[in-house]
Structure 1
């Protein structure tokens, strides 16, 4: 019965519409898989199987009457805890936050519900969403389904764990420095960060996006028409375009593709990571693309400046807490943020200004090439109970040097699996295109996915 969960989202909705598969049958299979897997995987927050079944029964009735609510009617979807859902608290991954129910759905949740999707659960994140880890003082520890001793990454940790463990094909995360792409890379998923403003988000912040994390490129493309519809609450939104996300795989012959194997600072990519990305680039070359080595877009000054700005911002938030609440924050995060007490206002302003330097270098590199390939994560894996790949609060962002610049530059970027390490862990290839060229990322990713072939050995814990 659980084989139906391995269908793509498009195939599943088509089967609902053709009355070949019931949303109730699908939801029952999903609930069974979740209940069998969660003790090991630890991906979910606010999982309500009874409500999900009621919603599935309502969708089944609509299909039987030939009147589905929308293009995703009856399709289970998870959303990251940080994405507000009406009536649910938003703990932000930390025990320090009061549990106040959200008064409205955030844009992503609202659009999904409008099209009939069933938000069957939310997914975990670390304290304040500021770690690339499944470690949290509020949520259970999320683990990497490929190897439970290892970390799924983050901050969209639970979304990555759920996607890799087969909790259906559609999961939505958020990304301000790589928080969709990093965990997607470590768990073998396709993770897509659209151009800033393409997918409305609330609350918004410099570089903050939401995006799908899915087993296939087509799953992500299938959900994008829904989640990109406009919402007035996002003052950073792009003018709405009804894009055709069902683009064919790109013909890369003659395309100039940049290859960036050096991030400019931070952790050096492991040899296995570099080798996998180089093999992917060789595949593009074999298909007629011109591979052009490109220099890094990030400097040490830029990365450290952003660190200063973010520390100061979060220390400001934490100063508003009582000492008792502050003591509940993950010690790693508290140590990281509290160091900002010694920064001058000028240092903080200069640090934040580095985002504009990144914006310039990210735009400049696309004067040479059409698309850029790079690693997503510099490391193959790290322990599940570590707060970050360095596990050092004084070196917190050494692993985001390949991903974070594109948040500040606002370019669309994706992670797609390009192989496995000798230890069996997934390795992610990053595909980046110029601002607003979201469909180029999708088309190039589809091409690479076709050449690579499907992943047929996803980890499962309900056998």
Structure 2
């Protein structure tokens, strides 16, 4: 944004004396504004949340026939919420720092009165009794949750393939998938359906859409963002176009909620301040010890273009004053196989709770994957679970003596939209998460931020992981890298 925003207030709301009546020349541009730009303009009575919501809805209306990022899109309710937000800003009484800011929530983040299908026709459409913690915090802050975003069956795929939702596609190349399982959230962020999109991550489900859609995907420390139900390694976090917007979301999402038995003690962290001065984070970067991790130790081989982008990012950080050190592979094939087996058994328990009709409705790929656990013995399941602990140890030990680790987010660029996973093999379904998974099990914060593009024009993400609980440090380094990286290409489909 280079010019002050023109005033634009709804016809039903009295304007303050300083508010002009000229509407913006192009409402669609407002869909691309950041959280800071929007809230500053709201506070100055230069812009109405109604105009912003109209712009986002117009953008979604134009692109959804191709992307299928959204579900439960409710324009009338969104505009009503925007009018209520406008009135609060005119009174000088916003509910919170995100009042009037459009936001989407992933299908599996419960919202009161709405079904939570988890991406599959196998789940009954039962209305949720309460908002999940992320939804509750956003509602309390005045954010306008105008839609839910699509996801694959049970969130167990890194694609947008679902028996419940239409197939989600990548805005950069419609033949490719957006990643998963926060597939719709990644596509919506890249397409500019407003600044904030909330996903979940248990093995890479925020960061993989981050890398393949060219957006910021932030997985906080385990327990930093309360969730319900909590589970080993499972986090909620933002997908945004900028690090500063991710920090703005975290200022609200990280507020406490007693329902999360794994939640961290509440802390008043300076989320907004830590990204308010990007140039200061460049100076802060000097002297930091950063590990460069290029070989996962398991899974798919690293694509040469992804390696080149990661090495270029490391050189840029070194030129800015960071100390770069090589990091040995964190993972082993046994670790990845163990996590795979453990999740298969977990999903098999869910399958066994289904009726025959529900089981028939589940994606065949997921059913085959889960059913393969039937022959596992108790000892084998225990050994599979133990790999989680070994992964945790490996990730924490790898960070010893380092401030951060940088790596590829994924070993490949975005794959075909119709495939459930890059291998298209349910017995090799986790081969692409070797770089992301250990930081779920180790509980460290990690973010994917765009580092460049392949020859085909597909985004390539750099993963930045930090010490446990150093969420602010990860965001600061990611913002510093935003200033160091090559110029970014225009957003797709805008």
TM-score under structure 2 length normalisation: 0.92
C-alpha distance in 1 between matches for 2:434 and 2:399? 18
Determine the structure 1 residue equivalent to 2:443: 410
Contact 2:187–2:213 (8 Å) recurs in 1? yes
Q: CA deviation at 1:329?
A: 0.6
| CA-to-aligned-CA distance 1:31-69 (integer Å, 9 cap, x gap) | 111111100111001100010000001111111122112
Change in 2 beyond 3 A, CA 1:120/1:454: farther
Query: 1:49-448, aligned counterparts within 5 Å?
Result: 49-245=75-271, 246-247=273-274, 248=277, 249-250=281-282, 251-448=284-481
Deviation at 1:365, TM superposition (A): 1.0
Q: Greater shift after overlay, 107-116 or 289-298?
A: 289-298
- Inter-partner Cα distance in structure 2 for 1:57 and 1:288: 48
Change (3 A) 1:22 1:453: farther
CA shift at 1:454, angstroms? 6.0
Larger deviation: 285-294 or 275-284?
285-294
C-alpha RMSD of the superposition? 1.0
Structure 1 segments, 4+ long, off by >4 Å, are: none
Q: Which residue of 2 aligns with 1:28?
A: 54
Q: Is the 8 A contact 2:317 2:484 kept in 1?
A: no
Unaligned runs of 5+ in 1: none
Query: Partners of 2:489 and 2:99 in 1: how far apart?
Result: 27
Other-structure match for 2:482: 449
Structure number, greater radius of gyration: 2
| Whole-angstrom CA distance in 1 between matches of 2:319 and 2:192 | 33
Offset, 1:252: 2.1
Question: Matched residue of 1:340: which SS?
Answer: coil
Q: Deviations over 1:76-110 (max 9, x none)?
A: 10010100000110001001111000000000000
The structure whose RCO (Cα within 8 Å, separation 6+) is larger is: 1
Cα distance in 1 between the residues matched to 2:230 and 2:451:
31
Alpha-carbon distance between aligned partners in 2 of 1:421 and 1:455, rounded to the nearest angstrom: 13
Contact 2:222 2:443 in 1 (8 A): yes
- Give, in whole Å, the separation in 1 of the partners of 2:412 and 2:137: 35
Structure 1 residue 370, shift from structure 2 partner: 1.3
1:322 Cα offset (Å): 1.2
Q: Distance in 1 between matches of 2:302 and 2:449?
A: 16
Which of 45, 67, 79 lines up with 2:71 in the alignment? 45
Structure 1 SS opposite 2:426:
coil
